[in-house]
């Protein structure tokens, strides 16, 4: 395995075949790194961290740092990372707070420079997080979400699949799937038509989401009435992928309320 002679790989660390470790990188004793992952010079993988295969960790990234949460009392607090993720320069990702819990990152996510993923966060797949995004603890971000640069996400917020948070925004409530929010505090402005086009949703599916947006944000309904009206739309069961995404989001308890 191509481990640079100046890198520090602590006894107990596990590196699978094809792992590359650059100059002055540090791999902690409890780290497990999957096949063909690249850890660039001066990067760190520490803590009870499991990194899947084909990840790329760029210089000065700190993966597996100890939680900032003052409730931390020790124990085995984990970070589980899937396959094919990119962590650019100076990204930091923290382990969970409580013994036995884990911060979880899925597959094929692209996390840009100086971004921070806090303790107990859960990220899905194919998420783009632009530079200098900060997430508080316990944030959930679903598949294919797009987070603009210099944005902040309050702890316990959730961002739905295919949603977009504009740059320089502060999200303090949940952002529903397929919607675009902007501002400080962030307010839903529209539905993510371009994002849906890029992810091969049909014109009919995009039109359906537009109708959902109008019911949720441009009608006289309150939240409960609007959600019921969405479920009664004639095409709701016609698009099983959209139906699943919407129902899985709205059926989960919202601790922060909706943006």
The ranges assigned to domains in the chain are: 8-138, 197-250
pLDDT for res 252: 79
pLDDT for res 79: 98
pLDDT for res 116: 98
pTM of the model: 0.95
Please, are residues 86 and 55 in contact by the beta-carbon 8 Å criterion? yes
Instruction: Please name the residue ranges forming H helices in the chain.
Output: 193-198, 203-217, 223-231, 240-250
pLDDT for res 223: 81
Q: What is the architecture of the domain spanning 8-138?
A: 3 Solenoid (2.160)
Q: Which residues are catalytic?
A: 119-120, 137
How far is 176 from 222, CA to CA, in rounded Å? 15
How far is 49 from 51, CA to CA, in rounded Å? 6
**E strands in 43-185:** 44-45, 48-51, 56-57, 62-65, 78-81, 86-87, 92-94, 102-105, 110-111, 116-117, 122-123, 128-129, 134-135, 140-141, 146-147, 152-153, 158-159, 164-165, 170-171, 179-183
Nearest to 115 by CA among 104, 100, 99, 128: 128
pLDDT for res 122: 98
- List the beta bridge partners of residue 182: 187
How far is 75 from 72, CA to CA, in rounded Å? 9
pLDDT for res 233: 87
Kindly list the distances between the CA atom of residue 67 and the CA atoms of 48, 162, 167, 177, in Å, as whole numbers in the listed order: 12, 28, 26, 28
pLDDT for res 228: 87
Nearest to 126 by CA among 93, 90, 176, 162: 162
- Based on DSSP, count helices (H) and strands (E) in the chain, helices before strands: 4, 27
Under-50 pLDDT residues of the chain: none
């Amino acid at each position: 395995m191509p481990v640079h002679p100046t890198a520090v790989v602590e006894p107990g660390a596990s590196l699978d075949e094809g792992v590359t470790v650059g100059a002055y990188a540090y791999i902690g004793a409890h780290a497990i790194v999957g096949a063909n992952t690249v850890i660039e010079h001066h990067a760190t993988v520490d803590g009870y961290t499991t990194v899947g295969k084909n990840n790329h960790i760029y210089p000065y990234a700190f993966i597996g740092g100890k939680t900032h949460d003052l409730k931390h009392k020790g124990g085995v607090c984990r970070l589980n990372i899937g396959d094919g993720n990119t962590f650019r320069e100076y990204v930091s990702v923290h382990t969970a707070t409580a013994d036995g819990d884990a911060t979880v990152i899925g597959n094929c996510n692209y996390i840009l420079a100086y971004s921070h993923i806090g303790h107990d966060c859960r990220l899905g797949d194919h998420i783009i997080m632009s530079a200098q995004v900060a997430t508080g603890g316990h944030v959930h971000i679903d598949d294919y979400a797009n987070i603009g640069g210099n944005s902040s996400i309050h702890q316990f917020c959730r961002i739905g699949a295919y949603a977009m948070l504009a740059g320089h925004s502060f999200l303090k409530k949940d952002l529903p799937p397929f919607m675009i929010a902007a501002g400080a505090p962030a307010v839903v402005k529209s539905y993510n038509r371009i994002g849906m086009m890029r992810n091969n949703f049909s014109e009919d599916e995009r039109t359906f989401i537009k109708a959902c947006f109008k019911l949720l944000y441009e009608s006289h309904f309150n939240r409960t009435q609007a959600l019921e009206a969405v479920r009664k739309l004639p095409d709701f069961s016609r698009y099983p992928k959209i139906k699943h995404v919407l129902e899985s989001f709205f059926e989960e308890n919202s601790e922060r309320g909706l943006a």
